[in-house]
Every structure is written in structure tokens, then in C-alpha cells.
Structure 1
Amino acid sequence: MASIFDKNDNNLIISRINALTPETQPLWGKMNVGQMLSHCQAPIDVAFGDAKLRSNFVFLLLGRIFKKKILAAPKFKKNSMTEPSFIRTDAYDFEKTKTELIARITRFADEGTACIKIDKHPFFGKMTFEEWDNLQWKHLNHHLKQFGV
């Protein structure tokens, strides 16, 4: 599997983002391209410790049960459940939001695992850097495929 921490793999993701335009339409789902670019920043902000998610015992219990299944799957399923705070319905400036996402993705390659500031995912519990890598890569790849890049 590709790695968000690897500069070449990281550049591949960024080149796919750069292939998007404000007119790019989704192949499935409800988000437009600007919403998707903003949505993709949310789980990165959690990993960087810049956003906090509330969790509870039930979510942690379910998350730990599903963690291995999600991380072992080759890709995310279409129309999977979304953390409610990650849902985007507003209008976003395409260029600004694209630049913000690229800056976050670049940080993975520039800083390596040091950019991950939390070791306990709000739903999946304790996670290794490899698990964070897997989760971030799959999430970005999923949404870029959603928009055909």
C-alpha cells in the first residue's frame, strides 16, 4: 500500500488533487468538489491534534471492533458512514480549500510521523503510525476516486 509519509506517494495524491477543477463532478455521493476538499481536511486535523472529536464508550467499543476490518479492507466502501462533524454542506472557495488540503498532505511527507499528535483515535482507540497512515491514505484515495482522479 502507498504511504502518505512517502514523498513520492504523497506527490501522487497531490497531483490527483491538482487534476480537479471547480466543475469536477462526483461519480457518487452528495458532496461537490469544494465540500470534498474541505471534508478531507477534517480527519487530518484530528490526527494533527488540531480538532477534537467527542467520543463515548459505545463508539469506542464499536470502533475497536470495526478497526481491524476497516484497516484490512483494500478500500473504503461507497457511501460509508461519516462522522457528523465531517459532513460538509456549505459552499467553499475551490482554490483556497484545495491549497489548504495540499498543505496538510504535504506536512505528512515533510514532518513524517512527528505530525501525528495523538495516538488514540476518538473511535478506533490506540493507533500506530502505520494505522494512521493506512486510514489517511484510504480516506484521501476514496474521495479522489469519488471525483474520478
Structure 2
Amino acid sequence: MNNIFELIHTEEIVQRIHKLDVHSQPKWGKMNVAQMLAHCSAFQDIAMGNSFPPRSLLGVFVGRMAKSVFYNDKPLPTNMSTIPSVLIEDKKEFERERANLIQKVKTFQKNGPENCTTHPHPFFGKLTPEQWGKGIFKHLDHHLKQFDV
């Protein structure tokens, strides 16, 4: 499984983000491309320890059993529900959101696993830095595929 902490995988993600443009259309889901970038950026904030959404009640009961979905080799399902705090519904500016996400992805990789959050994921609970690294790559890959890049 690819891991965002490995520079080669970070570079791949950044190159794919650069292929997006303001007119990129989703293959599924309700978010436009700028909202998707903002969503990924907000999710990145959780992994970086800059945002601490509370655990969901459902996550407390089933998150631990389901957490391998976040970092295993299987693709994430399309139209999967998301954490309410990273659900983006308001209008966003594409170029600003793209630059913001690229900066966060590069910073996360540069800071390395030792600076990954120890705060639990809002649904899956406690994750190791390796699980976060794989999950972040998988989440970004999922949304880039959503926009066909």
C-alpha cells in the first residue's frame, strides 16, 4: 500500500492535484472540484493534529472493527459517508484550495510519521502513523480518481 510519508507517493499525489482544473467534473458525489480540495485539506488538518473533531457514537462502537478500510489495499467505496466537520458545502475558490492542499500534503510528508497526530480519528479511533500515512494516501487517491486524475 502506498504511504504519503514516502516522498515518491507524495510527489505522485501533488502531480495529480496539478492536473485538476476549475472545470474538472466528478464521476460521483456532490462536491465540485474546489469543495473536494477543501475537503481533503480539512481532512489533512485532522492527520496533522490541527483539528480535533469528536468521535462519533457510531465510530466508538464499530470504528475499531472497520478501521482497516482506511488503510488497506481495497479502494474506498464511492459516495461513502464522511466526517461532518470535513463536509464542505459552501463555495470555495479553486486555486486557493489547490495551493492550500498541496502545501499541507508536502508539510505532512516532510514532518514525517513522528509528527503525525496521536489524537484518534473521529470514526476509526486510534491509528498508528503508518496507518495514517497509508490512509491519507488512500483518501487523496480516492478523491483524485473521483475527478478522473
**TMscore range, shorter length:** over 0.9
- Return the letter of the residue paired with 2:78: K
Could you tell me how far 1:123 is from its partner in structure 2?
A: 2.2
Greater CA drift, 70-79 or 98-107:
70-79
Show the counterpart of 2:25.
Answer: 25
Q: Secondary structure at the match of 2:8?
A: helix
What SS class does the counterpart of residue 67 from structure 2 fall into?
Answer: helix
The Cα shift of 1:57 comes to 4.9
Distance in 1, Cα, partners of 2:112 & 2:129: 9
Moved over 6 A (4+): none
1:104 counterpart = 2:70: no
Amino acid at match of 1:39: H
Alignment of 1:9-88 (within 5 A): 9-88=9-88
Matched residue type, 1:98: R
Q: Distance in 2 between matches of 1:144 and 1:56?
A: 26
Segment of structure 1 superposing worse, 67-76 or 15-24 = 67-76
Output the TM-score relative to the length of structure 1.
0.92
| 8 Å Cα contact 1:49-1:116 kept in structure 2 | yes
Contact kept, 8 Å, 1:41 with 1:101, in 2: the verdict is: yes
Alpha-carbon distance between aligned partners in 1 of 2:70 and 2:48, rounded to the nearest angstrom: 21
Query: What is the CA–CA distance in structure 2 between the aligned matches of 1:30 and 1:57, rounded to whole Å?
Result: 25
Q: Deviation per CA, 1:125-144, whole angstroms, max 9, x where unpaired?
A: 22111111121111100000
CA drift at 1:84: 1.4
Q: Which residue of 2 aligns with 1:130?
A: 130
Q: Would the alpha carbon gap of residues 148 and 69 (structure 1) be closer, same or farther in structure 2, given more than 3 Å must change?
A: closer
Instruction: State the identity %.
Output: 38
| CA RMSD, Structure 1 to Structure 2 (Å) | 1.5
Mapped contact 1:75–1:138 kept (Cα < 8 A): yes
Structure 1 gaps of 5+ residues are none
Query: Structure 2 regions of 5+ residues with no counterpart?
Result: none
